[in-house]
Amino acid sequence: MTHQPKRHPGNSNLHLHYESTFRGLPVLMSHIPFITEYLEGIHETTQLALKAHRRVFALRFDLHFPDDDRPLGSDNTVISRFVDSLTFRIQSARERSRRLNGSAHQTLVRWCWVREIGREGRAHYHFVLLLNKDAYHTVGRYHSAQENTYSRIHAAWAGALRIPVDDANGLVHIPANAEYHLSQDDPAELDRYFRRVSYLCKAATKVFGNRCRVFGCSRG
């Protein structure tokens, strides 16, 4: 039997998960082992979203850095600026809708992210965004003249990088089948979602010890 270490070799504070499910939900077995604490963070964040909203819109996307070496500040400050900017843009859009229409579905903004290092040695982020489905239900068209979820993500990432919006073209990637509509009444969709987002928690491609945070999720 192959030896299965219980802790991550790069960070002994983190535990490794080898089972095919986590808290009854499936994981991507092709990417074992996973980091238990990260699985727990995504699971808890998702459950908090489902407690706050009867239906939840979940979106998976990736954030990349420009190819040049312009100074951006630390990765920690960049991802914090992105989260703050995206949250502000989403909530501001809800407030505009309320003023225009007299009422609007409100949403809490919940999220999880991981920082990974690719084969070429460049950092990138995998991100999961969780919103009230009654307020937001799709990422929208990429080149729409109207503001939508995608344009808010794109503008928030450009702002976090402190570059013009047009210079951020190609730096936000929405993978195929990235949208999920979650509810406690649809366990099959929740299974599909968790299997997909468990990818963020794989132990591979995580680099520790350089003072950059590797995982983050919204609190409360």
pLDDT in tens, 102-124: 767 889 999 999 999 887 778 89
pTM (predicted TM-score): 0.93
The answer to whether residue 15 is domain-embedded is no
Give the burial string for 120-148 (b: 16+ CB within 10 Å, else e): eeebbbbbbbbbbbebbeebbeeeeeeeb
Number of domains composing the chain: 1
The answer to whether residue 133 is domain-embedded is yes
Give the burial string for 169-186 (b: 16+ CB within 10 Å, else e): eebbebeeebebebeeee
The answer to whether residue 11 is domain-embedded is no
The answer to whether residue 26 is domain-embedded is no
Q: Around Cβ 43, how many Cβ atoms within 10 Å?
A: 19
The answer to whether residue 140 is domain-embedded is yes
- The two structure tokens encoding residue 129: 């965004």
Q: What is the largest CA-CA distance in the chain?
A: 64
What number of residues does the chain have?
A: 220
The answer to whether residue 22 is domain-embedded is no
The answer to whether residue 114 is domain-embedded is yes
pLDDT in tens, 174-195: 999 999 999 999 999 999 999 9
Question: In whole angstroms, what is the distance from residue 87 CA to residue 198 CA?
Answer: 23
Domain, as residue range, for 131: 37-217
How are beta strands 7-8 and 25-26 bridged, if at all?
unpaired
The answer to whether residue 197 is domain-embedded is yes
